[in-house]
Structure 1
Amino acid sequence: MSGRHDVRAAVLGLCGWLAAAAAIHLGVRWAALATTAVAVVVVGLVALVALVALVARTWEGARRLALGGLCVAGAAVVAVGLREQAVTASPLHGWAEQGATVDIVATVVSDPRAVEGMWADQVVVRLRVREAAARGERHRVGGTVVLIGEPDWAEVTLGELVVAEGRLAEPEDGHVAALLRGTGPPVHLRDPDPWWRASAALRESIRASTAHLAPAPAGLVPALVDGDDAGLPAEVEADFRTTGLTHLTAVSGTNLTLVVGALLLLARSLGVRRRWLTLVGALGIVGFILLARTEPSVLRAAAMGTVGLFAFGTDGRRRGLRALGVAVVGLVLIDPWLAVSAGFVLSVLATSGIVLVGPPLASGLRRWLPRGLAEAIAVPTAAQLACTPVVAVLSSEVSLIAIVANMLAGPLVGPATVLGLLGGLVGLLDEGLGRLVGTVAGWCVGWIIAVAQTGAGLPLAAIPWGSGPVAITLLIVICVALVPVLHLVVRRPRWAVPVAVLALLVVLGVPGRIWPESWTDWPPAGWLVVACDVGQGDALVLATGLAHTAVVVDVGPDRDAVDDCLDRLGVEQIALLVLTHFHADHVAGLDGVLRGRQVAGIESTAVLDPPEAAADVQEVAAARGVPVAIAPSGSTRQVGALSLQVLHPRSVEPTTGSGTGESANDASVVLLAQIAGVRLLLTGDLEPPGQGQLARMLPNLEVDVLKVPHHGSDHQDLAWLTSLGAEVALVTVGADNDYGHPSGRVLDGLEAAGAEVGRTDLGGDLAVTMTEGALDLVTRH
């Protein structure tokens, strides 16, 4: 662990990372490559010149490092251009623009995933194309397509060669060449290679070794070993998010470090040394990639896990940071779009924390703890500390329990992961013995689950935190200041215990109001519903009383606007997404809601009008593995503290309606919601005929909050709206729209009836809260 950190490779990695991100955001084309490269390098060199001189310690070293940064930045920009050129020049891209029907020969590169559809169940799987034929032409091509097919596709296995036929469509995801839909059953040409068959057998054996356990441990063990979280209960995932333990359920560098580290320890105990030990480690990394699948996130995790092994190996201070820089450069050149991925940012920061903070923290802990236990605590603690500012930007909150939760769970993560893998390996030989080992792994994850459940239930497990520059800068300063404090505390056990107890008391007892109002003024405490400012469209978020979980009704016309609104509210999991009807101002932002969040399901009206928009919704949802169904008329369900009842429409059989979009408004799903004793009526774009139906069906209906139909249009049954007795009326409307919304007649009528009217064009996001038994309307602007 001796020696200075060698940060030269890290500087090169930063140059490549910034250059790739700039090139992607600027929309690089071949004609603009040189200009972009020069701009990026000039800006980078001006910003880094002083740092370079200090890092290199000589001006000659500074010159070389600057030249290296120039080369890496240029290579990253070229990589972006090459990737874009490869996609646009592919025949698949042109055929997708034309909606052509194609036959392809392709290799299956992901596990098939079944999703519920509005009309029938479907399967989503990724294929790497070898040959494609369409419009009388046949080409040998590369590229990946996302296939949305019939249930027979659930039987394909990773690595096998298949023939598929269907219609191409343009993708939302820039990483793939096209979507392939309307396919028949697969034609099997060749079985997977032996290593893929072995990987599938081991994954199945890992699942089988814990299948006899309760759902939570049975789902968590495979997630720890290889990222297979299909069986993990939703409530466990929610607890893990609140307590900062989500990284355990996804394929991360920690998984690889634990698996390969255990393999190296075993090899060392058997007498393996030097180059042979390196070979064992390399084989372990390859085996882990095959087990966890060759997705971009897995390759990123493998690279960062390898860096972690360097950090805790011989001469880790020098080699760890050097390995990190090389890994960043390599990943950005292989897949430039990682540069703008939140997962990549978190992965690099976590690994930086492990490299820079982890070893000295572990060294302090080893003064009074065994080596393995010290490192098990130091690694997740360092990673969590480094990631906290970015997590705050993404979620608008800070987990006060995350570091403590990682410290408590960390010592059992290694045994659970290794035992889970061992249970799978043993299970290949003897199922009974595999279940025995899996049971012990289940005992280990039982402690981790208990930590997550207990931590998530604490009053201040997480506090709201702004995502503005002042709030994030302050958080960075706090995290940096905590590093020497932690080092000082962990070296002295007589200090560590009192400090831990004090931190726990703070989390348990400090009232939220001590946090400065300017950092936590949005969302307001105790919000029940928020009408997002998404321009001329609808997007409403209903609280459920569950951490980071909401019900969303409509998604607006702008994916970025609704995504930002949900980020501000800290919504990570959507228990239900309701699309009231298929006009673009209610559904076009769907991709923004699905971005980085778990959505349990989508429900919408049975009137699929306009049909093109309805098909687009089905396509986007299927590509993300989200089931789509018709909102069950008259049904009532409970989501946490929120109850929802579908009042309209009565039709449950899918129909295209007029087919022109004219029948869409009056087919809107109307919801009656209740939370904390407050009744809310969400009306979509319901028009007077539909409003009259509701008035006849529920003649004495009264509500506390009304979402005014159709953006406050003048086309309303105003007598019915005012008869509802709403205290708060929400008007979702875009500023300076061309429709004359909202109508002054409607606004005056609602106000005369005693409603406080809020408009998103004037107030931005609108939140309804309950304070001491009274409703309040809070605007973000």
Structure 2
Amino acid sequence: MARPHRRTRADEVVRVPRRLDARLLVPVLISWPVVAFVALLVPTAWVWSAALLAGIGSAGVVRTRPPSSAVRLTALTFAVLALLLLATAGHRTVRDVGPLEHLAGAQAVVTVRGSVAAEPRVVGGVLADGDFAVTGGAEEAGREPMVLVRVDVREVEGRGRATAVSAPILVMGDESWAGVRWHEDVQAVVRLAPAEAGDAVVALARPKSPPTLAGHPGAVFRAADSVRSDFRAATAGLSNDARGLVPALVIGDTSRTPEDLTAAMLDTGMSHLSAVSGSNVTLVLAVGLGLCRLVGVPRRGRPWVALGVLAAFVVLARPEPSVIRAAVMGAVGLLALSTSRRQAGVPALSGAVAVLLVWDPWLARSYGFALSSMATLGLLLFAQPWGKAIARALPTRLGWFGPVLAVPLAAQAVCGPIVVPLQGTVSLVAVPANLLAAPLVGPTTILGVAVAVLSVIWVEGASWVAWLAGAPAQGIAWVARSCAEMPLGNLEWGDSAAAALGLAGVTVAVVVLTPWAWRRARLRPLLGLAAVLVAVAAAAPTNIVTWPPPGWVFVACDVGQGDGLVINSDSTEGTGHAVVVDAGEDPDLIDGCLDRLGVDVVDLVVLSHFHADHVAGLAGVVAGRNVAEIRVSPVAEPGTMARGVRELAATEGIPVGELRAGDTVRVGPVTAEVWWPAHLISDGSVPNNGSVVMTVRVRGVDLLLSGDMEREAAAQVLRAARRDPQRWGEVDVLKVAHHGSSNRDDQLLEMVEGRLAVISVGEDNDYGHPAPALLSALASRGFAVYRTDLSGDVAVTVDADGEIAVRTRE
């Protein structure tokens, strides 16, 4: 008779799954937003006080009897919060020492000395092989690229006194700053300006002179520079996309990545592949540990090898916050993908987040940090169980596809609510795009590492290996561009906090209900198919069907590279009457937009100036409509276009008048105050600086329509607005001047209270509009930006409660 099998401890370990340890995760997730939205914004003394109270609270809770799990969790939460608040207060106290913040508030001109903390980032141009080159529309007058450099300031000299400080600033310089290198000591004369509350830098700086080199980096950093330079040389012969992606994936060098490729990867949820990320580090570490096994490195020695690989990677990619974050998350990600250590993954991630926030509390406000952390958490929580569940649902031969699909699904599930406030859309192609690109990432990264190592001793040989790395990199770029161009690739969702919470709720519901729905669908396949079709139909964008949106007051028509603006002037809140400001260049485009809005009567046409992209489409406005009056700029240049407008108006029997600064125009519910032109400006573009600039009030919404004015006219408008703030009012929506040109006055942006910006611009235009420097300026000031080249017609709406919203047609 066979003896019964005795259940051993080993059997229990194998058969009984251990629960994930989330004891540290909860305190970290509670403390993180406190640091981001409270501790970095309130006075430093308050943070010290809060840290003390949290510490006292933790000590008090620990004494509670009996010591239950809830009590221990509460005590740990207070302890973690105290630690992070203490670190934040300490960092802020060090930064507050010295007069730097006060000088920035006074916009003083000072001399700063410090070290370059990050590689220069060119906005509006690219760095290639150490040289500076302007991309797209360089011939346009006044379009100057900007170089952004973060500098850790050690000394500031202003108002006759030199003071030691320890605080970062962001230098917004010209091409003379493109040559500085990480960890170099520099000195420069700059004009300071205050940064936004909670920013990672203390001040913004506009250089008054080129930087002066005051010291060289150490030997280790010079060696890293040499490797990066050799790597660039080895990959110089690749295509534009591959030349940008291979260094970006391997060493975090994004200086040669084409801007349109970066945008495509952002739209398709592949942005983690356009720069160094935790997933790249995980792959590099996995390869390193695999080689350790092959060559017989003892198990105890492998962690030290991994640590060495991490250290070398950080030095090579630059120890900036994003790189440190990627290194830490990559190490945790390796735990996430390791079956034997998965249980340690969540505590490791929680500890990593806490340590990084202690090291740099401003990471708490970083979208990159949030996305990296949440993507890693998604891998830890969902990748393995979802992979197994999907594999069970698939035929046996396709079971391998379960874990492959689970990784992008897990990342998308947890990162979607974070991305929504940035983009206002939900990507419907992110998962398939990442699935298609995933097999190409490994070969690109591994071969890229081989290029980096070989280039140190043999650049020519490394260039041959670079061709092998470039092939899969080109494939990644093709996937990004192809998926970005797919129709209905993005579902409009909204960019508010409520929209993010709504998506989070939908995601939770889908995760919870999918197993139940799958079981029911297997029992009743036709019912399951019908449910899928209904869900797809419900998710499909319906903007075109419901256009124009209810309550619209202003629409920027998609007229290509030009302006075609429509203001609802119907006194009964219908859509039959309108004021039209500019007509674009193509009559058919403005005519189609007015037809979609149901405009039959044009009470007034305002032509801001006489460039073709604003007036050549006038025939499309008057075609089949009753046009009451046309008002134009008194600056009648170019003369041929000005004469053409008057001839068309005479033919149609429409009176023509002029608008000048100080005029007020009232049409039904629309009131327009004209701020410019007051006189002729001969500097810059005469027609552009002669644009009619108006603030328009319609049903409680205030618009600033700025034509194509350049910085000279903008300065005059700014002075007039400051002299008469009551007449200026509180502007809700800015129609960005000149299709987003960089020729502007940023101070005017501060006069827009509503922080909504609309850019009327043509897709793939030849001028590089909108300028990246302009987009950066809007983003740094918290503007929500809407563009006709990306979204088609853009409508501003207002409801009965006065709530302003933006709807787009695409």
Residue 269 (structure 2) aligned to one of 239, 244, 250 = 244
Query: What residue number does 1:318 align with?
Result: 343
Query: What residue number does 1:356 align with?
Result: 381
Structure 1: where are the runs of 5+ without partners? Answer: 53-57, 534-539, 555-579, 581-635, 644-664, 681-685, 722-728, 743-759
- The range that moved more, 248-257 or 77-86, is 77-86
Residue 430 (structure 2) aligned to one of 380, 402, 419 = 402
Write the distance in 2 (CA, Å) between the matches of 1:513 and 1:711.
51
Structure 2: where are the runs of 5+ without partners? Answer: 1-13, 125-140, 566-580, 592-606, 623-630, 673-693, 703-725, 731-751, 761-786, 800-810
Asked if 1:698 corresponds to 2:649, the answer is no
Write the distance in 2 (CA, Å) between the matches of 1:286 and 1:544.
52
Query: What residue number does 2:727 align with?
Result: 739
Q: How far did 1:279 drift?
A: 1.1
Query: What residue number does 2:7 align with?
Result: none
What does residue range 440-589 of structure 1 map to in structure 2 within 5 Å? 440-466=468-494, 475-480=503-508, 483=511, 514-515=538-539, 543=558
Q: How far did 1:678 drift?
A: 6.7
Q: How far did 1:358 drift?
A: 1.6
Amino acid at match of 2:380: V
Residue 170 (structure 1) aligned to one of 161, 180, 194 = 194
Q: Does structure 2 retain, via aligned residues, the 8 Å contact 1:24–1:337?
A: no
Write the distance in 1 (CA, Å) between the matches of 2:585 and 2:100.
44
Query: What residue number does 1:283 align with?
Result: 308
Write the distance in 2 (CA, Å) between the matches of 1:676 and 1:37.
67
Query: What residue number does 1:428 align with?
Result: 456
Residue 26 (structure 2) aligned to one of 11, 16, 19 = 11
Secondary structure of the residue that 1:145 maps to in structure 2?
A: strand
Asked if 1:135 corresponds to 2:159, the answer is yes
What does residue range 367-386 of structure 1 map to in structure 2 within 5 Å? 377-386=405-414
Write the distance in 2 (CA, Å) between the matches of 1:385 and 1:5.
19
Q: Does structure 1 retain, via aligned residues, the 8 Å contact 2:119–2:149?
A: yes
Query: What residue number does 2:614 align with?
Result: 672
Write the distance in 2 (CA, Å) between the matches of 1:672 and 1:132.
48
Q: Does structure 2 retain, via aligned residues, the 8 Å contact 1:147–1:180?
A: yes
Amino acid at match of 1:8: R
- The range that moved more, 202-211 or 10-19, is 202-211
Write the distance in 2 (CA, Å) between the matches of 1:765 and 1:137.
41
1:85-122 Cα distance to aligned partner (Å, 9 max, x none): 33333222233334444334322222234556948666
Q: How far did 1:515 drift?
A: 3.4
Write the distance in 1 (CA, Å) between the matches of 2:284 and 2:489.
30
Asked if 1:304 corresponds to 2:345, the answer is no
Amino acid at match of 1:279: W
TM-score w.r.t. length of structure 2: 0.62
Write the distance in 1 (CA, Å) between the matches of 2:191 and 2:375.
42
Write the distance in 1 (CA, Å) between the matches of 2:553 and 2:232.
42
Amino acid at match of 1:263: G
Q: How far did 1:188 drift?
A: 2.9
Write the distance in 2 (CA, Å) between the matches of 1:420 and 1:488.
44
Q: How far did 1:429 drift?
A: 2.0
Q: Does structure 2 retain, via aligned residues, the 8 Å contact 1:131–1:139?
A: yes
Amino acid at match of 1:739: R
Amino acid at match of 1:312: L
Q: How far did 1:696 drift?
A: 4.7
Secondary structure of the residue that 2:646 maps to in structure 1?
A: coil
Amino acid at match of 2:645: L
1:193/1:392 Cα in 2 relative to 1: closer, same or farther (>3 Å)? same
Write the distance in 2 (CA, Å) between the matches of 1:210 and 1:147.
30
Q: Does structure 2 retain, via aligned residues, the 8 Å contact 1:166–1:181?
A: yes
Q: How far did 1:215 drift?
A: 1.5
Q: Does structure 2 retain, via aligned residues, the 8 Å contact 1:146–1:176?
A: yes
Asked if 1:159 corresponds to 2:124, the answer is no
Residue 87 (structure 1) aligned to one of 95, 98, 105 = 95
Secondary structure of the residue that 2:279 maps to in structure 1?
A: helix
Q: Does structure 1 retain, via aligned residues, the 8 Å contact 2:609–2:632?
A: no
Write the distance in 2 (CA, Å) between the matches of 1:459 and 1:76.
45
Write the distance in 2 (CA, Å) between the matches of 1:137 and 1:99.
16
Q: How far did 1:353 drift?
A: 0.5
Write the distance in 1 (CA, Å) between the matches of 2:366 and 2:115.
26
Query: What residue number does 2:572 align with?
Result: none
Q: How far did 1:320 drift?
A: 0.5
Query: What residue number does 1:412 align with?
Result: 440
Residue 779 (structure 1) aligned to one of 772, 797, 800 = 797
Q: How far did 1:79 drift?
A: 3.2
Q: Does structure 2 retain, via aligned residues, the 8 Å contact 1:9–1:326?
A: yes
Q: Does structure 2 retain, via aligned residues, the 8 Å contact 1:20–1:77?
A: yes
1:513/1:366 Cα in 2 relative to 1: closer, same or farther (>3 Å)? closer
Q: How far did 1:521 drift?
A: 6.9
TM-score w.r.t. length of structure 1: 0.64
Q: How far did 1:350 drift?
A: 0.9
Write the distance in 2 (CA, Å) between the matches of 1:676 and 1:695.
12
Write the distance in 2 (CA, Å) between the matches of 1:710 and 1:270.
81
Secondary structure of the residue that 1:141 maps to in structure 2?
A: strand
Q: Does structure 2 retain, via aligned residues, the 8 Å contact 1:733–1:741?
A: no
Asked if 1:187 corresponds to 2:212, the answer is yes
Query: What residue number does 2:598 align with?
Result: none
Amino acid at match of 2:69: G
Q: Does structure 1 retain, via aligned residues, the 8 Å contact 2:265–2:480?
A: yes
Query: What residue number does 2:221 align with?
Result: 196
1:226/1:15 Cα in 2 relative to 1: closer, same or farther (>3 Å)? same
1:219-259 Cα distance to aligned partner (Å, 9 max, x none): 22222223333322333333323322122113321121122
Write the distance in 2 (CA, Å) between the matches of 1:357 and 1:21.
26
Q: How far did 1:6 drift?
A: 0.6
Secondary structure of the residue that 2:214 maps to in structure 1?
A: strand
Q: How far did 1:527 drift?
A: 8.1
Asked if 1:264 corresponds to 2:289, the answer is yes
Query: What residue number does 2:682 align with?
Result: none
1:304/1:522 Cα in 2 relative to 1: closer, same or farther (>3 Å)? farther
Asked if 1:97 corresponds to 2:105, the answer is yes
1:222/1:542 Cα in 2 relative to 1: closer, same or farther (>3 Å)? farther
Write the distance in 2 (CA, Å) between the matches of 1:543 and 1:242.
20
Query: What residue number does 2:299 align with?
Result: 274
Amino acid at match of 1:698: V
Secondary structure of the residue that 2:614 maps to in structure 1?
A: strand
Asked if 1:689 corresponds to 2:634, the answer is yes
Write the distance in 2 (CA, Å) between the matches of 1:765 and 1:732.
16
Q: How far did 1:478 drift?
A: 4.6
Residue 714 (structure 1) aligned to one of 660, 664, 667 = 664
- The range that moved more, 97-106 or 66-75, is 97-106
1:395-453 Cα distance to aligned partner (Å, 9 max, x none): 23222221122122112212111212221221222223212211111211233233223
Identical residues among aligned pairs (%):
31
Write the distance in 2 (CA, Å) between the matches of 1:489 and 1:231.
47
Over the aligned positions, Cα root-mean-square deviation in angstroms equals 5.4
Q: Does structure 2 retain, via aligned residues, the 8 Å contact 1:642–1:674?
A: no
Q: How far did 1:476 drift?
A: 3.3
Residue 294 (structure 1) aligned to one of 308, 319, 331 = 319
Query: What residue number does 1:125 align with?
Result: 149
Amino acid at match of 1:260: L
Residue 342 (structure 1) aligned to one of 367, 385, 395 = 367
1:317-338 Cα distance to aligned partner (Å, 9 max, x none): 3210001111121122222222
Secondary structure of the residue that 2:456 maps to in structure 1?
A: helix
